[in-house]
């Protein structure tokens, strides 16, 4: 049998390449079918088939066809975060598989029809991890029981390239899309004491969040928004933050990157008792005596609550940009004021998924400026993966790492931001146009159904 003779894709002659790949794809199928029928073993009614299934962000792939009979799924997580395969109503499922892990599950004897498969991690099915297993009646050679060679080949003959082109165009046409709710709203104090102490209130709760047009997820939030409300404080502020936990699970709040008294670090049960679910409260109180570009999020059960939406910006003092300097021949004038000074909070998993400031393309917000404007931007990676953030055309001057100003800023066109990290950058929008701005891990920004996730644009007028 032919193995993976899939033609290399040509970008120079896409039309011809498409036709060729269809022809060759059909060729592979035909030969495979002949091979199956000629080896004499294909039409037994009690055959056993093992299908290789590959999980990625966010797809369930494989040659998902088998004849009626005993069917097993050999499931491999080829992605970078945990996934499982849950069959239909959930009676049969793999365990939660880590990246690289494989497990075989037995579906038993199945009759002709369709069987639904999905990943049960919150948000993953909605992001694309749903597929259907086709069980044929077993008498037809259309069931590719000799398909081991094909297993794991996710594309091949079945990919509808014309549809891919159509979907891609449609996905661009929707940008920028309006959705309900916007995150990063500045948290106002509920009161200020005579001694100047600023009192804030945060409520931890599950709320509906529109990640992309029409897609509402059960987000875990502070005060109902994603990213959480933004603290913007002055150096020297004394703050008191009352946290009410309306989640179904115990929680706490960690001030990531902020120097606080030990009891205020928000790491239950080490520094405090957990905040009880369904109404428990805890009040954090400390003074911020330095500038910070920090974050806050729960620490206890953080692997669940943070990806699902509980992450916020905690800024003290002005954004650490540098003016009046020349680095590698490119200058930043001394008299500039950035037209935009904004956070860019990254997430990639849980209910929120691949997103910029809590929204997935085309619902991400473009940065709209005039030709010649300067833009200050701070990345906060609250996700589980690296994100090389690539801005077209305009080099980014990295001026601070984790809020700490760099003695030697540097220019880059792609800045990799690891989980927990913050980088502050400054760029000059010196040319008109709609310049794409995205994560350069391509499947964080694009899938077969078009652009999604970590994509936005700088629109220069």
User: Interface with Cu ion by CB under 5 A: which residues?
Assistant: 387, 439, 441, 444
Residue (271 or 384) nearer to Cu ion, CB: 384
Residue (107 or 391) nearer to Cu ion, CB: 391
Q: Which of 172, 133, 144 is nearest to 32 (CA)?
A: 144
Least gap, CB of 80 to Cu ion (angstroms): 10
Residue (387 or 447) nearer to Cu ion, CB: 387
Contact 346, 380 (CB under 8 A): yes
Least gap, CB of 381 to Cu ion (angstroms): 9
Residue (225 or 441) nearer to Cu ion, CB: 441
DSSP H or E segment with residue 30: helix 14-38
Residue (182 or 384) nearer to Cu ion, CB: 384
Least gap, CB of 425 to Cu ion (angstroms): 16
The two beta strands, 455-460 and 367-369, are: parallel
Joined together, the tokens standing for residue 174 give 């929707």
State the helix-helix crossing angle for 14-38 and 161-173, rounded to 10 degrees. Answer: 140
Number of C-alpha atoms within 13 angstroms, CB side, residue 429? 24
Least gap, CB of 429 to Cu ion (angstroms): 23
Least gap, CB of 439 to Cu ion (angstroms): 3
Residue (229 or 358) nearer to Cu ion, CB: 358
Joined together, the tokens standing for residue 340 give 């935009």
Residue (181 or 453) nearer to Cu ion, CB: 453
Burial tier of 124 (Cβ tally within 10 Å: 0-12, 13-18, 19+): buried
Least gap, CB of 383 to Cu ion (angstroms): 8
Place of tokens 């003959």: 157
DSSP-assigned states of every residue in 87-121: ETTTTEE---BPTT-EEEEEEEEE-SEEEEEE--S
Q: Which of 287, 173, 311, 171 is nearest to 236 (CA)?
A: 287
Radius of gyration of the chain measured on its C-alpha atoms: 26
Least gap, CB of 369 to Cu ion (angstroms): 24
């Amino acid at each position: 049998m032919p193995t993976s003779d899939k033609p290399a894709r040509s970008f120079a002659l896409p039309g011809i390449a498409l036709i060729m790949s269809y022809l060759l794809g059909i060729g592979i199928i035909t030969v495979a079918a002949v091979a199956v029928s000629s080896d004499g073993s294909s039409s037994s009614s009690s055959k056993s088939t093992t299908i290789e299934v590959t999980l990625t962000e966010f797809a369930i792939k494989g040659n998902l066809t088998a004849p009626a009979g005993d069917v097993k799924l050999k499931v491999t997580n080829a992605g970078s975060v945990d996934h499982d395969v849950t069959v239909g109503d959930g009676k049969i499922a793999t365990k939660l598989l880590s990246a690289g892990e494989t497990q075989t599950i037995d579906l038993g004897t199945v009759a002709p029809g369709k069987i639904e498969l999905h990943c049960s991690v919150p948000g993953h099915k909605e992001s694309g991890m749903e597929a259907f297993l086709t069980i044929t009646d077993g008498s037809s050679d259309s069931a590719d029981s000799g398909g081991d060679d094909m297993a794991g080949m996710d594309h091949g003959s079945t990919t509808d390239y014309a549809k891919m082109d159509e979907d891609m165009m449609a996905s661009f046409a929707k940008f920028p899309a309006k959705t309900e709710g916007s995150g990063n709203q500045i948290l106002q104090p509920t009161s200020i004491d005579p001694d100047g102490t600023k009192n804030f209130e945060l409520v931890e709760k599950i709320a509906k969040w529109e990640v992309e047009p029409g897609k509402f997820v059960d987000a875990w939030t502070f005060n109902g928004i994603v990213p959480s409300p933004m603290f913007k404080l002055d150096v020297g502020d004394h703050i008191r933050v009352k946290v009410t936990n309306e989640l179904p699970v115990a929680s706490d709040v960690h001030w990531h990157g902020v120097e606080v008294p030990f009891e205020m670090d928000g790491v239950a049960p080490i520094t405090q008792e957990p905040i009880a679910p369904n109404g428990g409260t805890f009040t954090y109180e400390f003074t911020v005596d330095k500038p910070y570009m920090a974050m806050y999020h729960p620490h206890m059960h953080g692997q669940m609550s943070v990806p699902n939406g509980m992450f916020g910006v905690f800024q003290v003092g002005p954004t650490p940009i540098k003016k009046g300097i020349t680095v590698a021949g490119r200058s930043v004038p001394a008299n500039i004021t950035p037209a935009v000074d904004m956070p860019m909070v990254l997430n990639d998993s849980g209910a929120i998924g691949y997103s910029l400031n809590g929204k997935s393309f085309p619902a991400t917000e473009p940065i709209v400026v005039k030709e010649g404007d300067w833009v200050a931007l701070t990345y906060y990676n609250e996700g589980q993966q690296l994100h090389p953030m690539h801005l077209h055309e305009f080099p980014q001057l990295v001026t601070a790492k984790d809020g700490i100003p760099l003695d030697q800023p540097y220019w880059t066109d792609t800045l990799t931001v690891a989980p927990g990290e913050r980088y502050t950058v400054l760029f000059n929008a010196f040319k008109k146009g709609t310049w794409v701005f995205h994560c350069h891990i391509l499947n964080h920004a694009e899938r077969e159904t078009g652009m999604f996730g970590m994509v936005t644009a700088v629109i220069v007028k």
